[in-house]
Amino acid sequence: MVAITPTAERSSPAIQGWVIVARLITLMIFLQPFFIGLLFSGHSMGMDAHRTNAYALFLLTLGGLIVATVTRRGTPAGRTMIGEFIHLLVGIIVVAILGVLSHEGVIRLHWLHFPAGVALLAPAMSLVAAAQALYRPDADD
């Protein structure tokens, strides 16, 4: 007979997947300045890379939020992770709006877009911490 313990549940591949997703999101945010730096260095593909990464970042975060809401909402650690996904998604939307307005020339908001993009690293790192908290045996107590 196999006993299932809370510790065994927390080390499942699905939970490890949350840490991988959170770290991938953080990496994608970290790469955004490098992609736009390519543009500023004279490489026209920099804007396309920046835009494509932004779309992928939005979709990955939205997908993560939906899946986490469906699968992890029953535990306190899961609800914490869902909250971090929400904070990050709102931040991504705000940064994207600032970026689109700046690029389209409607209003020059690069001075807000750049630091707001860097500020996304804070909720991304909080998401990583929340995903890692799913491993702790006392996370749902």
Q: 76 CB contacts (<8 Å, ≥6 apart)?
A: 139, 140
Task: Return the H-helix or E-strand segment holding 44.
Answer: none
Let me know the angle formed at the C-alpha of 33 by 31 and 41, rounded to the nearest 5 degrees.
115
108's tokens: 């020059």
Could you read off the pLDDT of 106-138 as tens digits, one per residue?
788 888 888 999 999 999 999 999 999 887 766
| Separation CA 66–CA 75 (nearest Å) | 15
The pLDDT, as a whole number, for residue 75 is 87
Residue 62 carries which side chain, given as an amino acid letter?
L
When pLDDT is cut at 50, 70 and 90, the band that residue 5 belongs to is: very low
Give the domain ranges of the chain: 8-133
| Separation CA 140–CA 82 (nearest Å) | 14
Could you read off the pLDDT of 61-101 as tens digits, one per residue?
999 999 999 998 888 889 999 999 999 999 999 999 999 88
When pLDDT is cut at 50, 70 and 90, the band that residue 141 belongs to is: very low
Q: What is the pTM of this model?
A: 0.83
Residue 102 near residue 110 (C-beta atoms within 8 A): yes
More confidently predicted of 2 and 137 = 137
Q: 101 — phi, psi (to 5°)?
A: -60, -40
